[in-house]
Chains A and B, each alone.
Chain A
Amino acid sequence: MLRRILGVSVCTLFAAMVVGVPLLSLADVPVEPRGNGRANRRPAPPASDGAVMAPVRVNHQAPGAAAEGAVARIVIPRAYLQELLASGAVSPALPIGSGSGNGSGPHYGTLVAGIALALAIASVPFVLRGRRATRQLVAASLLFVVVLGGWTWAYGDLIPGRPGGPPRRPAPPAGAQISLEIVEEGETVQLWVKPQGR
């Protein structure tokens, strides 16, 4: 009887994990740097083949009257742009999405992997069913689930808005625009970003 109760409990727990974890996780929750080693957990998207790295002076000030209504303003000196074009570092028309990838799985690989992983977890109770050492296995599985669940709760980016957790993703401003200016003077690219909360 006890074995049956434990078996049903484990099945329910695994089923809850399979169904519940994907429901709780939100893929687009922005990650705020919190604590040691937690910064930049989500790296920037890979640059396309034609992209170049350029030094930028960042001004955390409102873009100014010249860029009324824009969330950011990028000022590029004409001489610097011509230098880049002349060096061949960038082509006049950059292909969008022409990057060859980073060698990992295909872009929908995570989808297939997620389904396979969910099925693997869901099939674990069938392994435990009818085993002689069910009690030990169930105890070990429960411990594993509790430890993993606790770790996920503590360090995962689940449930936005919880105390100390990541903020909810702010709604994008309607009709957000970036002001791009080519100016005659200057040598450095400047980025003007409106500080958050102002």
Chain B
Amino acid sequence: MGEAAGAVAIQPADHEPAERRGRRQKPGTHPAVWTTWFAAAALLGVAWGVACAPLGVSVVAVFLFAGPHNWCEARYFLSRLPGRLGPLAPFFAVGFGGTVLLAATFALLPLGARWGAWSESTWTTAIAGWNTALILWIAGLAEWRKRLPPYRDWPWVLPVALLLIAVNWLAPSYVSLALVYLHPILALVFLDRELGRRHSPWRTAYRRAVVLLPVALVGIALALRDAPALAGADVLTLQIQRHAGAEIVPWISPQVLVAWHAYLELLHYGVWVLAVPLFVVQAPPWNVATAPLARRSLPWRRALVAVVAAGALLVVSLWGAFLVDYPFTRDLYFTIALLHVLAEAPMLLRIL
């Protein structure tokens, strides 16, 4: 009887949201408290490390994590795709179809410019046109998402999209640069939504730590405000500076831009390689048994295993290619990596 009473008393607590359970713990022992301190220390510590050697951190971070983070992200997408798409099929078809089309077009732009000997004006027009297509595609998906359950009230989609298109045609290069800096931040939004969906006790700590992000960025800028220009005029240094936007915003020190970009990229890699597998997927990337698509049928499960194995092979190949020719591989990687940048749009809209 005593055992039965105990079991009844324990059962509701197990079904309670973890956040509510945590409130009953002794002050100071709630996971949110020490996790906040740990996350804050990690955020500021990484910022300090990046400010000490922005170029080195950028090179090492891309070498180590560029491949694995794509692999983990693909595994996350597999875990979030429903077993049967049903009414979502057209949405994801347009989402992933647009991803491939836009990424392919973007990769072909430099080739077109080279073969067609485009003038600067033609190149700028092409970039503005591509940006416009991207904005319209995302706005179209957002309008579609509004009408899918759970329904969303987003009346601002059209005005904001049109405003962005206006800004884009006035300064296309700034919109392209904004994409470079916004993409790492999207990973933080993914993590926040997923922690919220799971009523995770880590969400409070995570949100408190993310508040420190602007502080860390300002700290990096202050630490490097008087830093001399990046040493060396080699291809890699110029490539990293250009990617960070040194040519587009010449009034900000290239050191600061490279450090900001490296810092945001590191956070982005940290989210996909550490936080998402630990707190969201809760399975190693090679284990696809829990993915809804894998539960559909045996052929689907085998297909998913094949996809994950191919991903692992690509990760190892990318490391090898980086060792052979880092600058060329980095350039090629960031062109192809646009696929995963764009694929985040339909996935994020779906979970919002």
A residues engaging B (CB < 8 A)? 100-101, 103-107, 109-110, 112-114, 116-117, 119-121, 123-124, 126-127, 131
Contact = CB atoms under 8 A, between A and B. Distances in A.
B117 interface: no
Q: Tell me whether chain B's interface is mostly helix, strand or loop, or mixed.
A: helix
Contact of B124 (A105, A117, A126): A105
Contact of A113 (B124, B160, B166): B166
Interface of B: 119-121, 124-125, 128, 155-156, 158-160, 162-163, 165-173, 248
With most chain A CB atoms within 10 A of its CB, the pick from B166, B170, B173 is B166
Contacts, number: 70
Q: Tell me whether chain A's interface is mostly helix, strand or loop, or mixed.
A: helix
B162 A127 contact: no
Contact of A127 (B124, B125, B156, B165): B156
B155 A105 contact: no
A107 B119 CA distance: 13
A127 B153 CA distance: 10
Given A103-B248, A127-B155, 9 more contacts: A101-B120, A104-B124, A105-B170, A109-B125, A116-B162, A116-B165, A120-B162, A126-B158, A131-B155
Contacts of A104: 124, 170-171
Contacts of B159: 120-121, 123-124, 127
Contacts of A116: 162-163, 165-166, 169
A121 B172 CA distance: 21
Contact of A105 (B158, B160, B171): B171
Contacts of A120: 158-160, 162-163, 166
A119 B167 contact: no
B58 to A, nearest CB: 24
Contacts of B158: 120, 123, 126-127
A32 to B, nearest CB: 26
A119 B171 contact: no
A45 to B, nearest CB: 15
